[in-house]
Structure 1
């Protein structure tokens, strides 16, 4: 029955179906499906023998490696809840997430020994530390349990216990640009459905597929392991992300699917070595996670051909809100068609998307509203945060906080984050639109546009600009540049030139921090 809609079922089926195929490649390590299964079962039994049981939370602090996927599968099969920690965050972030989730175990890569040592006294609930050796032979100062030892000492029989579809599978901490990160609760059912959705929208995946994942598995990229795995394909992970290593791996492993963020796509495009390798095995390059500039997208299509696919999702509706497909990446043709390169594509196959006004009523095509999403994959809510859950999850719909509109052909165009919108006079102004203009100025490296207090209009547009290295740019130049290119009421009234913009560890600009200094003593709610 449906109550068995869980990840364990999918993993076990693939292992029976493809025992001798290569499941995993990392550096010079290669694991077949049956070898991986053997290690996963031993690990699962080992964790249960340590007294870790279904529903307990386990922190995972590792860079991409085979062990990451082994742990993933062992937790999925036993109903122990994954709490992936992004290696790019700081010790205090990890400490907050471990305490907030009430994790009783932390599995960490040897290279994080110092971080773990530093936070250990303040991590209240963690009793068990397991260390994955990465061949660095660092001293085991924490008296942590050795990961390989755990695998060697335990039996490879199937771990006991039942996993139901409503059981918690993962707590994903959002990259909060506002306040503390929130733990997004994803059930076994949500994870299984993300897998199905990715196969529908980015597949088909077959046993001939080889997927190279260049993003941290602790982040959204981790969702792509299963769609490939359940169909008998091979997952390839890289210890080194230099463009030459990526190209070399594509050629050597005959990679068919490449998963990356726009920044990595730019690095590949800019690499002088890009023409030296045979990349003909590739049929899909899946990108997403941050906005992409249209001129760069056109260059990428010119180089790689029609292999690019864009995804739009967020932690609360993971990976699957809309898809901009391979065939949509048209770089020549009517203005309307080329304009679509700015869109986030069409709603995913198994997902409902609406765009609504402040009263929850659908808006007309071309009219801006908030993007809301419903599907079997959405979150159950935020961990221990009923108020925030009630604000985001209403009647089974996730309110994304993203503003956008549908065009007449069902393409979604994202306009901005709702909380970043500026209301000046009676006009709604979207900072993203102004930023897209200013960033084309030849001396501007990056820019953030925010609303600042204005006695007459309520809010006024301010641009905060970072010039390119070694050049200067003035307020007047930027205002004049905008005057020629956007409606007068949208152009910045003031411009600040700064050496850098405040960002969170994921690279997102912290607009709340930028706004704060201008709003001291005023009553606009700082989000």
Structure 2
């Protein structure tokens, strides 16, 4: 069995001696005990085995934050298969690229999810003229008692010994916007869980809630991994409605609530929000830069600080503003994590000087799929690569002050310089007419289409003053990269001020 199931077995043994004093999972009005979780996992593992899933097979879970996600992940862990969490809203093109990179043995989805091979991308192979099918479906089965579908693919080639023994593969996006999978081994999972538990003081009596998908680094590391390793209760919900989160914070006696800055910003706008009764509740904000104004308003409304956190799929949680007094930074490193600011070649820079952010910890993983060969320039270490002593170049730029607090400045390109700065400044004159004609949607959309992502951002700030928009552009050159993310957040939370989020970048 793999580590995830070992954690479950250990938790069930501990809770059995304590007569299951706390539920393992809470999903809306459903409470699942540790005994019930073990029973469901064992039953599901036997069913998956009949589907032909064996040890070493990679199986994708394209589900939301529901109990069945955790049950299936633990069942696959018992079979020693590799768990591959995927975004349930992933598009056909990205799904096809994931299938090409990961060579999944099976994919478990909901009925309304994107079907496998929905948009074949015809990836480049070593033999372009080959007419062989990249993947083919062996069978489709319905998981008993659910509406979930398990699509089993034929194996392309016999299993080959690998350099590493993966347990989980978390997918993220590379600098070009294409999916890449980060391989996590047992040592990585152990390192991340220990780091989070020691930093956030998580014990068996804690109650956690991750208001993000379990397929993300935030949900997996701060939610599933930490809850299993420390035998704590975990609250799940595939539709994290902001009023429900605020009510949960006021009534559930949460110890840790992990969410994005956009969710916390929406919570501050609720007229019926009540203060949190527990002063030991930790509200962890990660996934995007936290605006200091949002942190101040949140503390005033709910009575607890909002902690700015920095984490990535390759590194796990890196640093945290543990006191909540410096929201413009991401605080000091987690337990067992070393952070330094250095040049692209790894030469350490003095405090107060901007440079590349490097991280070293037991949770750092530099193994990715598909493997990418990067040409080195001199003694420069490529982004997402490690030095011989274990330091990973994250691709972020930042500054370390004399007290060890890290301030992030944005992303960097392959040369180590801020990306897209000149391109954004070139669009200053073009942004003005887009905003001016914004009331005329046809003209605005036509001009925005010619500008690409910058035009989409301009349309997203309809109703704001042009001068404010240009201040955002001057404040940070990466608005063009983050434009789609901001618009997605505006659609999910209509009351969210997209301009405030732009300033946070």
Q: Does 2:344 align with 1:343?
A: no
Q: Secondary structure at the match of 2:176?
A: coil
When structure 1 is superposed on structure 2, of 93-102 and 402-411 the one drifting more is 93-102
Offset of residue 314 of structure 1: 1.0
Equivalent of residue 180 in structure 1, options 150, 155, 178: 178
TM-score normalised according to structure 1 size: 0.71
Equivalent of residue 303 in structure 1, options 301, 304, 310: 301
Counterpart in 1 of 2:6? 9
User: Structure 1: which 5+ residue stretches go unaligned?
Assistant: 146-163, 331-339, 439-443, 446-462, 510-527
Check whether the contact 2:273–2:301 (CA below 8 A) recurs between aligned residues: no
Deviation string 1:82-134 (CA, Å, 9 cap, x unpaired) is: 1111123212212221232000101112332x634846998715535454589
Offset of residue 376 of structure 1: 1.2
For 1:383 and 1:376, the matched residues in 2 are separated by 20
For 1:108 and 1:354, the matched residues in 2 are separated by 41
Equivalent of residue 381 in structure 1, options 354, 364, 367: 367
Report matched runs for 1:116-265 at 5 Å. Answer: 116=116, 118=118, 124=135, 127=138, 129-131=140-142, 167-202=165-200, 204-220=201-217, 221-223=219-221, 224-265=223-264
Equivalent of residue 289 in structure 2, options 288, 291, 296: 291
Counterpart in 1 of 2:355? 369
Counterpart in 2 of 1:394? 387
Check whether the contact 1:211–1:236 (CA below 8 A) recurs between aligned residues: yes
Check whether the contact 2:356–2:416 (CA below 8 A) recurs between aligned residues: no
Counterpart in 2 of 1:271? 270
Counterpart in 2 of 1:45? 46
Q: Secondary structure at the match of 1:167?
A: coil
For 1:491 and 1:374, the matched residues in 2 are separated by 27
Alignment RMSD (CA, Å): 4.0
For 2:150 and 2:226, the matched residues in 1 are separated by 37
Counterpart in 2 of 1:359? 345
Seen in structure 2, the aligned counterparts of structure 1 residues 271 and 197 have a Cα distance that, compared at 3 Å, is same
TM-score normalised according to structure 2 size: 0.74
Seen in structure 2, the aligned counterparts of structure 1 residues 128 and 255 have a Cα distance that, compared at 3 Å, is farther
Q: Secondary structure at the match of 2:349?
A: coil
Seen in structure 2, the aligned counterparts of structure 1 residues 306 and 249 have a Cα distance that, compared at 3 Å, is closer
* Greater percentage in strand: 1
Seen in structure 2, the aligned counterparts of structure 1 residues 295 and 398 have a Cα distance that, compared at 3 Å, is same
Equivalent of residue 473 in structure 1, options 463, 466, 469: 466
Seen in structure 2, the aligned counterparts of structure 1 residues 211 and 123 have a Cα distance that, compared at 3 Å, is farther
When structure 1 is superposed on structure 2, of 70-79 and 402-411 the one drifting more is 70-79
Equivalent of residue 406 in structure 1, options 383, 400, 403: 400
Counterpart in 2 of 1:29? 30
| Residues matched between the structures, number | 428
Seen in structure 2, the aligned counterparts of structure 1 residues 102 and 125 have a Cα distance that, compared at 3 Å, is farther
Deviation string 1:136-187 (CA, Å, 9 cap, x unpaired) is: x7xx9x7969xxxxxxxxxxxxxxxxxx995201222212351422111111
